[in-house]
Structure 1
Amino acid sequence: MSKSLRLFFIIIFLGLPLWWGINVFAQKLEDFFYTNVAAQEEEVLNQNAAIEKQLESMKPSRKEETDALEVGARSAISVLIKKDGTEKVLFQKNIQEKLPIASITKLMTALLVMRNYNFEETVEISSEAAKVENEQGSGNLRVAEKFFVKDLLYFLLIESNNGAAFALADMMDEKEFVDLMNITAAELGLEDTFFVNPTGLDPENQQDLTNYSTVEDVAKLAIYILKTEPSIWDIARFSEFDVYSADGILFRKLKSTNELLGTMPDLSWKTGWTLRAGGCLAIIYLAPDKQSYLVNIVLSSEDRFGDMEKMMDWLNGAYQWQ
């Protein structure tokens, strides 16, 4: 073997480790850059997702050019319930002021009935329940007439019948029922809410305490019902309903007390009015984004339906919904 050839093989032999090392280094360098780039891309994607989530949480956004809302109601609130269950206050006025709530009371009455009663149980109307006064348009129940519990719920929520509220509470004992109303209010965190009766009627002695709450607490109750007992709001959506006595005889056609019928799809409501409370109204309806719900409450209003319409129109125009 010539000297030149031996030298060539020596160089090859000595260069093999260097060549192997360079290849290993290059592979590791390639892996490093690939991992680093992938990590950076993942970080960017995560950042973009976080930004999108933050932007989504800010919707609907307030339009700066729109004027502030003014309503005559002494207290009012609008809360948006998003499809993921999160909540956002869109309007508020004196939300922690304690005020009489009239027949808004019946939302709590209905909740306790849903939780504690057998819908197929028969209720006989007592003389006390038959003589309980009602708002105009809501006739009194008749003594000894029998209804199923489920049918009295329609009386309660569609025409706001006070006799139905009394009859349902009296199945348990009225005092015990009212005590349970207050216990439930405390459990739900309604710290500024108190009940003295299941109807919302003013006491005969105007110096006595009446049912009171705040729009903030009423909104909490309305939202809790929406999430846990939505059938209450389903019943409240009816404009009319034929109700039958327990023996299957048509008693009468119930008609809603809500003057906003037909103004908004999927609209549910609970009205209330007494001399001390003034006009009260709680509504739930599909928001303009067609994915969320709006819960609007007004208390102590001289024009509850006018105030509510004004609030609904303002919410539609004052926020960017898409």
Structure 2
Amino acid sequence: MRLLKHTLLCASMMFSAAAAAAPVVVPNAPAVAAEAYVLMDYNTGKVLVESNMHLQRAPASLTKIMTSYVLGQELKSGRVSLDDEITVSVNAWAQNRKLKGSSLMWLKEGDTVTLDKLYQGMVVASGNDATVAISEHIAGSVDGFAHLMNTWAAELKMNDSIFENPHGLDANNQQSSAYDMAILTQALIRDLPEYYALHSQKSFTYNNITTDNRNGLLWDRSINVDGVKTGYTNDAGYSLVSSATRDDMRLIAVVMGVKGRNGNEGANNRQAESKKLLNYGFRFFETVTPYKAGDTFVTQPIWYGDKPEVKLGVLADTPITLYRGQAANMQAEFELNDELQAPLSRGAQVGTLYFRLDGQDIASYPLMVLEDVQEGSWFSKLMDYFKLLFKSIFG
């Protein structure tokens, strides 16, 4: 059976091809002083700006985003609880030689600490000691936890990433990319919003020691940043993953390998480069949603049914990110997999809904049945049989 394809000009929606829009002029993306970077729209996963986004680099403490994701999944599944009390091992001791001189929560061997405190200590204070304690509690060892990290990385299609430890201190084969860190952050926000909220916490106090979050953009009132994580080692340079919202849009910016002569300069530089990307994205892009979940896109004839037509549309929102001002030029098309025949159930996919701009497909979504259709009477089915037979013979 031949595929059916039609074009619909959606004048009643947020865009219309009937009205000619003025040409859209967008300046080049800003120059970003980082070895690798990416700006991604959260809702669609569309990469808006990038340079060397698949370049594999030492991730430093950006690694803790994956640790946070694994921990969040363990909490979500009920295998662990934030109320769990954990005895600090010698491996998680702040004075352990492997951790000495790095970012710490200042744990003491033998102390009992709740998982909730350790989670805050890892995310807000970037405590490597807290990270070791978390990994031992969940997987029994750092190596065992790294296996979980790599399993989740494969699940999320983080093809540029290999993890050897949960904290990000330099290791021989530990590597990731700006793109992988963006899709990991997208997954953290999407899958674990209750735990992502911790990444906006500005300070953390443990044993009368208060540590401020190193992500200075959390204090910047000109941009609504609510996460995510900083990173630095000698090998990695200065890095930052940040996410910000404006209206209905959320952007994720990743900069890796920013330079700085000292800690203050490096931190300021990575924040400035991240802010360039976020401001550019909010200024020159927009996310539109032509159809909301449950909206009808088209009504189509159906054969052998108890009704002559069936409503087709989407069961999930259809966000699309594009340059501001381009939405007026967008068209929608649909393509059916086959002739529609009863019975059909609500939620069955029968085709694809395409959005096109300047003759190119820019997004696609499943075209779904929006109502149940039962088989018709024997007489109506017999009539439809002869109609289809006539149609196949005479076209």
Q: One fold, TM greater than 0.5?
A: yes
Hey, what's the Cα distance between the residues in 2 that align with 1:156 and 1:120?
16
Mapping of residues 192-271 of structure 1, within 5 Å:
192-203=160-171, 208-209=172-173, 211-243=174-206, 251-263=208-220, 264-271=223-230
Tell me whether 1:301 sits opposite 2:258 in the alignment.
Answer: yes
Provide the C-alpha distance between the structure 1 equivalents of 2:177 and 2:257, rounded to a whole number of angstroms: 11
Q: In the alignment, which of 255, 271, 277 is matched to residue 236 of structure 2?
A: 277
1:76 to 2:76 alignment:
no
- TM-score by length of structure 1 reads 0.73
Bigger mean CA deviation after superposition, 173-182 or 300-309: 300-309
- Which residue is 2:358 aligned to? none
- Cα distance in structure 2, aligned partners of 1:227 and 1:105: 18
In the alignment, structure 1 residue 147 sits paired with structure 2 residue 147: no
Quote the residue 1:98 is aligned against. 56
2:10 to 48, 55, 58: 48
Q: 1:174 to 1:267 in 2, by over 3 A?
A: same
1:207-230 C-alpha deviation (Å, 9 max, x unpaired):
x32x21111111111001111012
CA–CA distance in structure 2, aligned partners of residues 62 and 315 of structure 1: 19
What is the identity, as a one-letter code, of the residue corresponding to 1:269?
V
Q: Which amino acid aligns with 1:169?
A: S
Residue 178 of structure 1 deviates from its aligned partner by 0.8
Q: CA deviation at 1:124?
A: 1.3
The answer as to whether partners of 1:103 and 1:271 remain within 8 angstroms in 2 is: yes
1:133 maps to amino acid? K
Point out the structure with the larger helix share: 1
Report the alpha carbon displacement of residue 148 of structure 1 after superposing the two structures with TM: 0.8
After the TM superposition, which residues 13-32 of structure 1 pair with which residues of structure 2 at under 5 Å, given as runs? none
- Asked whether 1:67 is paired with 2:28, we answer yes
5+ residue gaps in structure 1? 1-42, 56-60, 244-249
Letter in 2 for 1:93: S
**Alignment partners' CA distance in 2, 1:161 and 1:233:** 17
Task: Rate the CA distance shift 1:284–1:65 in 2: closer, same or farther, 3 A.
Answer: closer
Counterpart for residue 121 of structure 1: 84
1:279 is aligned with what amino acid?
Answer: Y
1:46-81, Cα deviation, whole Å (9 max, x unpaired)? 5225974689xxxxx996352332111011111112
Q: Please tell me whether the aligned partners of residues 146 and 165 of structure 2 are also in contact (alpha carbons under 8 angstroms).
A: yes
Contact 1:62–1:318 at 8 Å: present in 2 too?
no
TM-score (norm 2): 0.60
Verify: 1:133 aligned to 2:100, yes or no. Answer: yes
> 2-side partners of 1:256 and 1:88: how far apart?
29
| Structure 2 counterpart of 1:32 | none
Q: Out of 135, 144, 158, which is 1:176 matched to?
A: 144
Structure 2: distance between partners of 1:281 and 1:50: 42
Q: Which has the higher contact order (CA 8 A, sep 6+)?
A: 1
Partners of 1:154 and 1:230 in 2: CA distance: 15
Larger radius of gyration: 1
* 1:152–1:54 Cα change, 3 Å: farther
Give, in whole Å, the separation in 2 of the partners of 1:98 and 1:54.
42
Which AA in structure 1 matches 2:47?
V
Kept after mapping to 1: 8 A contact 2:125/2:212: yes
Structure showing the higher strand proportion among its residues: 2
- CA RMSD across the alignment: 2.6
Offset at residue 197 of structure 1 (A) = 0.6
Deviations 1:71-100 (A, max 9, x none): 110111111123xxx232211111111111
Deviations 1:97-151 (A, max 9, x none): 1111101101111111122222211111122211223546x45222222111111
Q: 1:123 to 1:284 in 2, by over 3 A?
A: same
SS state at 2:50 partner: strand
Q: CA deviation at 1:321?
A: 5.2
CA separation of 1:105 and 1:73: change in aligned 2, threshold 3 A: same
Q: Calculate percent identity across the aligned residue pairs.
A: 23
Contact 2:218/2:225, CA 8 A, preserved across alignment: no
Q: Aligned match of 1:109 in 50, 59, 67? A: 67
Structure 1 position 259, deviation (Å): 2.0
The gaps in structure 2 that reach 5 residues or longer are: 1-5, 75-79, 260-268, 286-322, 326-395
